Amino acid sequence: MSGVLENRRVIVTGGNGGIGQGIARGMVDAGATVAIVGRKENVAEVARELSEPGREAIGLQADLSDRSQLKTAFEQAVAGLGGLDVLVNSHGIARVDEAAEHSLDQWDETIETNLTSVFELCQLAGRHMLAQGSGKIINIASMYFFFGGLKVIAYTASKGGLAQLTKALSNEWAPHGINVNAIAPGYVKTNLNEHVWGDPVRSAEIMSRVPYGRWAEPVDMAGPSVFLASPASDYIHGVILPVDGGFMAR
Ligand SMILES: NC(=O)c1ccc[n+]([C@@H]2O[C@H](COP(=O)([O-])OP(=O)(O)OC[C@H]3O[C@@H](n4cnc5c(N)ncnc54)[C@H](O)[C@@H]3O)[C@@H](O)[C@H]2O)c1
């Protein structure tokens, strides 16, 4: 898919780690220039790795659960890129606890990070895209939009909300040339779910339900993201696309 995203300006939140980094790599390999936003200190280093001659990646360190940092980082990213064609929201957290013990602080932190900040980023990006009459927004949902999950109650609620947000925005913005879609990754080996792949019993249980027979790697999310960012997906709107090695089909 080399060159399919030439001259496209892309923001990937959480692009400094895990799935977001895999997606950012895919976007760069397809010809895009990227700005990554993440809260860890490695942002600048990852941005250097994502830079190509004539296409310097931008790395911005910001806590997206802080509303003023979010707005500043978004504006800096758009200014640095000279505009915006694609937004990928891949930042997210999962706090693991039984529902009866899950604190309201954990709930608030998760909803703010995984849902409210995604709405605000979509809204900021949407205003740009509405003005230019085109754009692509890709939210990273989860299997836990389809299923309830276990011991991640706030996470599950946030991803359910994110998927509905995706559909609702699509309804309003599709007529204006903006595609709003989501990817629901299956089980991807990242820091976020080390509690799952690090547990041999649970890991084996899950893998027995993945027809493709292995955990996903972050780069497995790159191709579908490039597709959803490219003109090849212009007629796809409001979809929550499972990328799960066949898990949903079992
Ligand atoms: N790993 C999986 O199996 C899986 C499955 C389905 C969905 N997802 C979703 O994919 C997305 C990426 O997760 P991942 O598995 O790559 O996890 P990860 O922990 O490897 O990466 C998450 C990234 O988001 C960033 N981030 C988290 N909170 C932030 C904040 N407040 N401000 C700025 N950056 C922040 C982190 O710094 C990190 O770079 C998340 O939305 C997650 O819910 C993951």
Instruction: Tell whether ligand 1 has an atom less than 6 A from the beta carbon of residue 90.
Output: yes
Q: Check which CATH number belongs to the domain holding 67 and give it.
A: 3.40.50.720
Asked whether the beta carbons of 86 and 27 are under 8 A apart, the reply is yes
Ligand 1 pocket member 124 (CB < 6 A): no
Q: Which residues contact 17 (CB under 8 A, 6 or more apart)?
A: 38, 40, 42, 46, 190, 191
Contact present, 230 and 1 (Cβ < 8 Å): yes
Say if 238 falls within a structural domain.
yes
pLDDT the model gives residue 45: 98
Question: Is residue 104 domain-resident?
Answer: yes
On whether residue 2 sits in a domain, the answer given is no
DSSP states along 90-143: -------B-TTT--HHHHHHHHIIIIIHHHHHHHHHHHHHHHHT-EEEEEE--G
Indicate if 155 belongs to the active site: yes
| Assigned domain for 240 exists | yes
Q: Which amino acid type is present at position 98?
A: E
- Which residue has the least CA distance to atom 6 on ligand 1? 142
Report the candidate in 16, 14, 15, 24 with the shortest Cα–Cα distance to residue 229: 24
Length of the chain: 250
Within a domain: 183: yes
Q: What is the pLDDT of residue 7?
A: 95
What is the pTM for the complete model shown?
Answer: 0.98
Question: Residue 228 is encoded by which pair of tokens?
Answer: 């959803």
Decide: 43 and 67 in contact? Cβ < 8 Å. no
CB 93 less than 6 A from any atom of ligand 1: yes
Confidence at residue 24, expressed as pLDDT on a 0 to 100 scale: 98
Catalytic residue from among 155, 187, 212, 235: 155
- Centre of ligand 1 to C-alpha 180, Å, is 19
Low-confidence residues of the chain: pLDDT under 70: none
Domain residue limits at 16: 9-249
**In ligand 1, which atom is closest to the CA atom of 15?**
39
Q: State phi, psi for 220 to the nearest 5 degrees.
A: -65, -20
Distance 175 CA to ligand 1 centre (A): 30
User: How many structural domains is the chain composed of?
Assistant: 1
pLDDT tens digits, 117-141 = 999 999 999 999 999 999 999 999 9
What is the model's pLDDT at position 185? 98
**4 found inside a domain:** no
How remote is the C-alpha of 58 from its chain's centroid?
Answer: 17
Q: What pLDDT, on a 0 to 100 scale, did the predictor assign at position 2?
A: 77
Compute the distance between CA of residue 46 and CA of residue 65 in angstroms, rounded to an integer.
21
Query: Does the CA dihedral 218-223-224-226 come out positive or negative?
Result: positive
- Residue 25 exposure: Cα atoms within 13 Å on the Cβ side: 15
